[in-house]
């Protein structure tokens, strides 16, 4: 039940009990990064307070043990998204993963890439640099215009770069349908799953996705670790971004042989402790259960929308009650296009940490809103009472505007 769960979460997440200047903190910025459970931090500590050896380079016992743990997390990730261990590459974050794909495919400006208008900058700028980009239009109710998507596919793009769940609206696209359409047009499908893998179980194999990226820090894990999934036969053909130690089988003065995938993409000493932390965060999420997480998100998202609907001073970006949404809500306050002061009051007077601005999706926000948006986002440790506190506080602030 809720009471017992809350008790457990408060014990596990020290961030939930933090006070600043005697004021309780309400953390409503989980779409930016999540709070961390003790179990995850302990996994990192265990590494540094133990024999914190390097991996994969030598034969001593400590190194072998750490290498096994590190590779064990690769299989945990593979189980999570339903692929093989050799299809999981550890990188720094979603951004680096998408950059690796965009540069490693060796595209040219004559190649077309289809992107979503509501893409995060990290699923837009790497493509803009590598190729020619077409954006799928957004409908009046802030959804993907599927007819326009179909018409863009007719120009035979090399790549379709999708975002499974928007960090702005919290709305999920119909991924199976959009992947199928892209495949029928012969495109490679790259999915930014930074906002979805932490929240929903998905199978890259069933969906027939070619590349998929996400970050540990948005799923209770540490910063500095991201995952790139790639079909093994496609990873084989991808050009690595970095070369050096750890990625080669044999080196001569004028030639080298790359290691097999995925190791050839992990040059230099990786974020070993971070990967072990990600392992612990996956264990924690599996312990809560992805069915629970999905339902909890859904309930929270619906509650956010209901509460927003009671306020006529704000306008929600996509207020469709039937949309497939997570626990993220963004809105504008028309009488206050710049929301810096509102966000500052929410923080300093009410202890509420939420996000304002263009949310790393500036072209999209600028096209749908005259100014900034305010975003609230929750995760497994967020409850309806936190959302009530947010809207009650916002009411007070807006009454002074």
Burial grade of 373 (CB within 10 A; 0-12, 13-18, 19 or more) = buried
Residue 66 or 173 with smaller CB distance to ligand PMP: 173
Smallest gap from residue 195 Cβ to ligand PMP (A): 5
Residues 358-397 that bind ligand PMP (CB under 6 A): 360
- Write out the E strands in 259-336: 315-316, 328-332
Burial grade of 392 (CB within 10 A; 0-12, 13-18, 19 or more) = exposed
Residue whose structure tokens are 């199976």: 176
Interatomic CA distance for residues 248 and 259, integer angstroms: 5
Which structure tokens are listed for 170?
């919290």
CA nearest neighbour of 382 among 52, 3, 6, 91: 6
Residues 121-160, mask of contacts with ligand PMP (x by CB under 6 A): -xx-------------------------------------
Instruction: Find the binder of ligand PMP among 194, 329, 333, 376 (CB under 6 A).
Output: 194
- Choosing from 83, 115, 165, 360, the catalytic residue is 360
Q: Does 93 bind ligand PMP (CB under 6 A)?
A: yes
Strand partners, 312: none
Instruction: Find the binder of ligand PMP among 87, 134, 192, 266 (CB under 6 A).
Output: 192
Interatomic CA distance for residues 381 and 152, integer angstroms: 41
Output phi, psi for 303, to 5 deg. Answer: -65, -40
Q: Does 355 bind ligand PMP (CB under 6 A)?
A: no
Q: Which stretch binds ligand PMP (CB under 6 A): 120-128, 132-140, 240-248, 329-337?
A: 120-128
As a residue count, the chain comes to 401
Which structure tokens are listed for 373?
């948006």
Q: Which stretch binds ligand PMP (CB under 6 A): 55-63, 82-90, 187-195, 275-283?
A: 187-195
Residue 199 or 231 with smaller CB distance to ligand PMP: 199
The answer to whether 113 and 160 are in contact (CB under 8 A) is yes
Q: 143 catalytic, yes or no?
A: no
Q: Which stretch binds ligand PMP (CB under 6 A): 117-125, 262-270, 319-327, 334-342?
A: 117-125
- Burial call 223-262: b when 16+ CB within 10 Å, e when fewer: bbbbbbbbbeebbeebebeeeeebbeeeeeeeeeebbebb
* Biggest CA-to-CA distance, the chain: 71
Question: Within its chain, how far is the Cα of 295 from the centroid?
Answer: 19
Pairing of the two strands 352-353 and 328-332: unpaired
- Write out the E strands in 138-266: 159-163, 188-192, 211-215, 226-230, 248-252, 255-258
Smallest gap from residue 377 Cβ to ligand PMP (A): 10
Smallest gap from residue 192 Cβ to ligand PMP (A): 5
Smallest gap from residue 328 Cβ to ligand PMP (A): 9
Q: Which stretch binds ligand PMP (CB under 6 A): 93-101, 199-207, 289-297, 308-316?
A: 93-101
Instruction: Find the binder of ligand PMP among 30, 34, 99, 163 (CB under 6 A).
Output: 163
Q: Does 34 bind ligand PMP (CB under 6 A)?
A: no
Interatomic CA distance for residues 150 and 130, integer angstroms: 23
Smallest gap from residue 121 Cβ to ligand PMP (A): 8
Residue 30 or 393 with smaller CB distance to ligand PMP: 30
Q: Does 215 bind ligand PMP (CB under 6 A)?
A: yes
The answer to whether 327 and 305 are in contact (CB under 8 A) is no
Smallest gap from residue 29 Cβ to ligand PMP (A): 10
Instruction: Find the binder of ligand PMP among 30, 94, 99, 356 (CB under 6 A).
Output: 94
Q: Does 356 bind ligand PMP (CB under 6 A)?
A: no
Q: Which stretch binds ligand PMP (CB under 6 A): 69-77, 190-198, 327-335, 378-386?
A: 190-198
Q: Which residues would be at the binding site for ligand PMP (CB under 6 A)?
A: 32, 93-95, 120, 122-123, 163, 167, 192, 194-195, 215, 360
What are the residue numbers of the active site? 360
């Amino acid at each position: 039940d809720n009471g017992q769960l809350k008790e457990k979460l408060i014990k596990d997440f020290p961030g939930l009990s933090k006070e600043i200047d005697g004021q309780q903190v309400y953390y409503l910025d989980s779409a930016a990064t999540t709070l961390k459970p003790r179990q995850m931090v302990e996994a990192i500590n265990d590494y540094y307070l133990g024999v914190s050896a390097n991996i994969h380079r030598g034969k001593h016992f400590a190194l072998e043990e750490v290498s096994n743990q590190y590779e064990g997390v690769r299989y945990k990730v593979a189980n999570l998204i339903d692929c093989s261990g050799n299809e999981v590459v550890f990188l720094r974050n979603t951004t680096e993963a998408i950059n690796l794909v965009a540069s490693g495919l060796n595209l040219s400006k004559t190649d077309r890439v289809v992107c979503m208008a509501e893409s995060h900058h990290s699923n837009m700028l790497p493509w803009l640099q590598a190729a020619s980009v077409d954006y799928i239009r957004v409908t009046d109710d802030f959804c993907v215009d599927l007819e326009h998507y179909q018409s863009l596919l007719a120009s035979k793009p090399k790549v379709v770069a999708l975002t499974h769940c928007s960090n702005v609206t919290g709305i999920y696209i119909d991924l199976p349908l959009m992947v199928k359409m892209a495949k029928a047009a012969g495109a490679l499908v790259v999915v930014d799953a930074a906002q979805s893998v932490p929240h929903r179980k998905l199978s890259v194999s069933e969906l027939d996705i070619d590349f998929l990226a996400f970050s540990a820090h948005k799923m209770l894990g540490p910063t500095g670790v991201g995952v790139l999934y790639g079909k093994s036969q496609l990873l084989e053909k991808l050009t690595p971004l970095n070369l050096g130690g750890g990625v080669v089988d044999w080196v001569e003065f004028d030639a080298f042989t790359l290691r097999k995938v995925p190791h050839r993409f992990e040059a230099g000493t990786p974020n070993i402790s971070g990967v072990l932390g990600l392992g612990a965060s996956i264990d924690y999420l599996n312990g809560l259960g992805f069915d629970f997480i999905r339902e909890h998100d859904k309930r929270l998202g619906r509650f956010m929308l209901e509460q927003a609907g009671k306020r006529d001073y704000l306008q929600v970006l996509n207020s469709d009650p039937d949309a497939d949404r997570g626990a993220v809500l963004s809105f504008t306050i028309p009488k206050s296009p710049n929301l810096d002061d509102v966000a500052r009051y929410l923080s300093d007077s009410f202890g509420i940490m939420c996000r304002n601005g263009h949310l790393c999706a500036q072209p999209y926000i600028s096209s749908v809103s005259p100014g900034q948006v305010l975003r609230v986002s929750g995760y497994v440790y967020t409850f309806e009472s936190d959302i009530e506190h947010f809207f009650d506080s916002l009411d007070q602030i807006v009454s002074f505007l």
